[in-house]
Each structure stands twice: as structure tokens, then as C-alpha cells.
């Protein structure tokens, strides 16, 4: 301890405290409640990919520092994935950078691209690390709020346009969107792209849920739209796509100049991470389309179970077009404060969820919304739903 009266934690981080995911997972562990809070699957990803990691470890691939930009096998696999799925061509040597999960990609991108005082526009509710990383970069976050409209949280393009000022440096997008499950449409993305070109903005787009889109929703990478490839940093992650969230393998694809800038920050964060897992993820990205289709189908079935169960339990349900989260409205249950509701939920119903208010600057806007994750085994979802139905009686 220091004897000075000055707080230990600097001003940039003082407002953030402990992440809601750590808090709520600790609450689940302490109470034995079913954890539908933090978004991690309760079954691991494909066995052959796990075996690929074991093989890499045994063969001594990646047990020492991998190359700074990531192992060539993974960079090549990321580039091939972007080309095959989206027709986006990236040079594995100059336009792909492997990171310690999407989390490091977000941090490095913001630390590299934002000057102190720059404004960064983020869609609110926003994933919690966005606000902290903007703050660490000395930027000013400017939230643009997604609001409920016809059963989904939608972006108001006029509000977005009005949020851009002469100080705006960067748009921080996320589609499919956590926590609302919204997938931005081609029309919305086209308007965003036009705005970015017109106002000369950089865009960092977090597409970690790119493979989790349902029904007729389509994931459209912003970088595919006119004028965007050269100004967009696209972020992906193996955690969500292959159900290995502990491996922390993420990546960015962008122009050589943007990759070089982001790498300048990334090299002083972790330098490198996850050596043997990088080889395994390279194999995962090359899995046939049938794998991704089966993954989507499986998650869609779980979405049905949880969304229907939550509706029967009396929640207002926003059925997500993407991600593995369902945002609910607790007002039909006679509740208004998502924080208080989530803190009491383990005791009341033996379930843990996340109050969406933590993802808002305008906390009052997010107060009545609560997020549940459905990346859990069906039996676990059934039990959670049975418990939540007791709330209504």
C-alpha cells in the first residue's frame, strides 16, 4: 500500500470496476446457480480440433514464441476463410494479424488508432471492453443507442450521422451484436459505409459472431462494401466460432498500413500468445461448410428452447437474429431494475443472467433489459427455464 491519498487505480480506469462477467460467474459459482450469464459454451468444440492442439503440443509446434504476426499456417487459413466466405482477398503476410482473442485485437486497434481526445462512436449497448479500451487510449466514447423496434434493437441512422463530429476518428461496430442479437442489414451497413467514406472515418468492426446467424439473417462484413476495405479493421475469434473460448485465438484482417499500426500496439501487449492453439485453429478454419452449418443449426435449436421458455416464464423476449444471447425485458414481470433483478436471481430462481445496463452509458435506457446465454446443453437450458417459470407465480 502507498501512504499517499491518491487512488491506486488511475482515472482512466476508475469507472470500470470488475467486469460483469467475472462478477456474475463468481455469483454462479458461489450460489450453485445455472450460469446463463458469461457467454461460454458448456461443451468444448470439435474433438478433431482439440486433438490438433494436442498434436501441435506434442510435436513441439508453438511451444516457444510463435512469430509476432501469428504462425503462417493460421494467417493463411484466416485469409482463405475470408476469401471463401466473403470474397475478401487478404495477403496472409501483410494483411492478417493473429491476436490473443478478439479482446486483444480490440485493445490494440484502439490503442494504435486513437489519439487522446479523439471521439469514438460505439453502438450502445456495447461490449464492455470497448469502453475500457477507448478510455485506455485516451479517447472519448460517443454512444449511439440501439432501441427496440418491432421486436429487435435497431440502429437509428440519423442519430448515427448526427453523432459524427470533426473530432470523430473511428466507428466501433459489432455485428452480429452482443448483447442484443441484432444483425446489421445490408441497407444499414451501406449507409454506415457511405458515412465513413464521406467523413473519412476508420472503422473497427467486431465480427466474432459471424458464424452465428439464424433464419434469413445474413452476416455481411463491412469490409465488403465499397470504399471500406482500406479503412476497416475486421476482428474475428476462434472462441465463439469453434467453442474454445479459453484458447484466446483471435485475428484482424485489414490493409497493410492498418495491420502495421495495430501490430505496433499489439507487440507491446502480449507480443504473442496461444502458440499450439494457433495451429489447431488453422485446421478449424478449414473445416467444411457442413461443420459451420451444423453449428448454426445446433445453436438455433438452443435459441428456440431458451427464447420460448423465457416467454413462457413471462419475460418480454427479443429473439436474436445472431449471437448466442437472448435479451429480455423484465417489465412484464413487474420488474424495472435489471441490476437488482440479476443480483437477486440466483436466490430467487437459481439462475444467473447479465443486466444489460452495464453495456450502456445511458444506464436508464438499459435498466429493464437482461441477457441470457443459450450456448449451454439442452438439459441445462430446460432446467433453467423450469426454474425461471417459478418467477411468474
Q: Which residues bind ligand PMP (CB under 6 A)?
A: 39, 101-103, 127, 174, 178, 206, 208, 237, 239-240, 245, 248, 250
Q: Which does 174 bind (CB under 5 to 8 A by kind): ligand GLN, ligand PMP, none?
A: ligand PMP
Q: Which does 132 bind (CB under 5 to 8 A by kind): ligand PMP, ligand GLN, none?
A: none
CB of 138 to ligand GLN, least distance (A): 22
**Nearer to ligand PMP (CB atom), residue 79 or residue 204:** 204
Of 35, 38, 182, 278, which lies in the binding site for ligand GLN, with binding defined by CB under 6 A? Answer: 38
CB of 129 to ligand PMP, least distance (A): 7
**Nearer to ligand PMP (CB atom), residue 249 or residue 367:** 249
Binding string, 73-92, against ligand GLN, x = CB under 6 A? --------------------
Interaction of residue 21 with ligand GLN, rule CB under 6 A:
yes
DSSP letters for 248-312: --EEEE--HHHHHHHHHHHTTTTSS--HHHHHHHHHHHTS-HHHHHHHHHHHHHHHHHHHHHHHH
Matching residue, cell 474454445: 244
Q: Which does 237 bind (CB under 5 to 8 A by kind): ligand GLN, ligand PMP, none?
A: ligand PMP
Interaction of residue 174 with ligand GLN, rule CB under 6 A:
no
**Nearer to ligand PMP (CB atom), residue 105 or residue 333:** 105
State the Cα torsion 300-301-303-309 to the nearest 10°: 160
Residue 307 CA to residue 51 CA, distance in Å, equals 34
Report whether 367 contacts 349 (CB < 8 A). Answer: no
Report whether 330 contacts 317 (CB < 8 A). Answer: no
Buried b (16+ CB within 10 A) or exposed e, 354-373: bbbbbbbeeeebbbbbbbbb
Residue 163 CA to residue 178 CA, distance in Å, equals 21
Residue 52 CA to residue 392 CA, distance in Å, equals 47
DSSP 3-state assignment of 16?
A: coil
Interaction of residue 178 with ligand GLN, rule CB under 6 A:
yes
Q: Which does 275 bind (CB under 5 to 8 A by kind): ligand GLN, ligand PMP, none?
A: none
DSSP letters for 200-250: T-EEEEE-TTTT-B-TT-----GGGSTTTGGGEEEEEEHHHHHT-TTT--E
Contacts of 330 (CB under 8 A, 6+ apart): 315, 316, 336, 338, 341, 368, 369, 370
Q: Which does 38 bind (CB under 5 to 8 A by kind): ligand PMP, ligand GLN, none?
A: ligand GLN
CB of 369 to ligand GLN, least distance (A): 14
> Sheet harboring 325-329: ordered strands across?
316-318, 325-329, 369-373, 354-355
Q: Which does 119 bind (CB under 5 to 8 A by kind): ligand GLN, ligand PMP, none?
A: none
Interaction of residue 309 with ligand GLN, rule CB under 6 A:
no
φ, ψ at 266 (rounded to 5°): -60, -35
**Nearer to ligand PMP (CB atom), residue 100 or residue 342:** 100
**Nearer to ligand GLN (CB atom), residue 128 or residue 304:** 128
Of 23, 36, 39, 279, which lies in the binding site for ligand GLN, with binding defined by CB under 6 A? Answer: 39
Q: Which helix or strand (DSSP H or E) is residue 20 part of? A: helix 20-31
Q: Which does 168 bind (CB under 5 to 8 A by kind): ligand GLN, ligand PMP, none?
A: none
Contacts of 282 (CB under 8 A, 6+ apart): 71, 73, 74, 76, 77
**Nearer to ligand PMP (CB atom), residue 174 or residue 243:** 174
Q: Which does 250 bind (CB under 5 to 8 A by kind): ligand PMP, ligand GLN, none?
A: ligand PMP
**Nearer to ligand PMP (CB atom), residue 241 or residue 255:** 241
CB of 209 to ligand PMP, least distance (A): 7
Q: Which residues contact ligand GLN by CB under 6 A?
A: 19, 21, 38-39, 178
Amino acid at each position: 500500500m502507498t501512504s499517499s491519498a491518491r487512488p491506486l487505480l488511475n482515472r482512466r480506469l476508475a469507472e470500470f470496476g470488475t467486469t460483469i462477467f467475472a462478477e456474475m460467474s463468481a455469483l454462479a459459482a458461489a450460489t450453485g446457480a445455472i450460469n446463463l450469464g458469461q457467454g461460454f459454451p458448456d461443451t468444448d468444440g470439435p474433438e478433431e480440433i482439440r486433438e490438433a492442439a494436442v498434436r501441435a503440443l506434442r510435436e513441439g509446434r508453438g511451444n516457444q514464441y510463435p512469430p509476432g504476426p501469428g504462425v503462417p499456417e493460421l494467417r493463411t487459413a484466416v485469409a482463405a476463410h475470408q476469401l471463401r466466405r466473403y470474397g475478401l482477398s487478404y495477403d496472409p503476410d501483410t494483411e492478417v494479424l493473429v491476436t490473443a482473442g478478439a479482446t486483444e485485437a480490440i485493445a490494440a486497434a484502439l490503442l494504435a488508432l486513437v489519439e487522446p481526445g479523439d471521439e469514438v462512436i460505439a453502438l450502445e449497448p456495447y461490449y464492455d471492453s470497448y469502453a475500457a479500451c477507448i478510455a485506455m487510449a485516451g479517447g472519448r466514447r460517443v454512444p449511439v443507442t440501439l432501441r427496440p423496434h418491432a421486436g429487435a434493437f435497431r440502429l437509428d441512422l440519423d442519430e448515427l450521422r448526427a453523432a459524427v463530429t470533426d473530432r470523430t476518428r473511428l466507428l466501433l461496430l459489432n455485428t452480429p451484436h452482443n448483447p442484443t442479437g441484432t444483425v446489421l442489414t445490408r441497407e444499414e451497413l451501406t449507409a454506415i459505409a457511405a458515412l465513413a467514406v464521406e467523413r473519412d472515418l476508420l472503422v473497427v468492426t467486431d465480427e466474432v459472431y459471424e458464424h452465428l446467424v439464424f433464419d434469413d439473417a445474413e452476416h455481411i462484413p463491412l469490409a465488403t462494401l465499397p470504399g471500406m476495405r482500406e479503412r476497416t479493421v475486421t476482428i474475428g475469434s476462434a472462441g465463439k466460432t469453434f467453442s474454445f473460448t479459453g484458447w484466446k485465438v483471435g485475428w484482424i484482417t485489414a490493409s497493410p498500413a492498418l495491420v502495421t499500426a495495430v501490430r505496433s500496439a499489439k507487440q507491446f501487449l502480449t507480443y504473442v500468445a496461444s502458440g499450439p492453439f494457433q495451429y489447431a485453429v488453422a485446421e478449424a478454419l478449414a473445416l467444411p461448410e457442413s461443420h459451420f452449418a451444423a453449428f448454426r443449426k445446433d445453436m438455433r435449436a438452443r435459441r428456440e428452447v431458451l427464447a420460448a421458455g423465457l416467454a413462457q416464464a413471462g419475460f418480454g423476449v427479443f429473439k436474436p437474429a445472431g449471437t448466442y444471447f437472448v435479451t429480455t425485458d423484465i417489465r412484464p414481470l413487474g420488474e424495472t431494475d435489471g441490476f437488482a433483478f440479476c443480483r437477486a436471481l440466483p436466490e430467487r430462481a437459481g439462475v444467473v443472467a447479465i443486466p444489460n445496463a452495464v453495456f450502456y452509458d445511458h444506464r436508464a435506457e438499459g435498466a429493464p433489459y437482461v441477457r441470457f446465454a443459450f450456448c449451454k446443453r439442452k438439459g441445462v437450458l430446460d432446467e433453467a427455464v423450469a426454474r425461471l417459470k417459478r418467477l411468474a407465480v
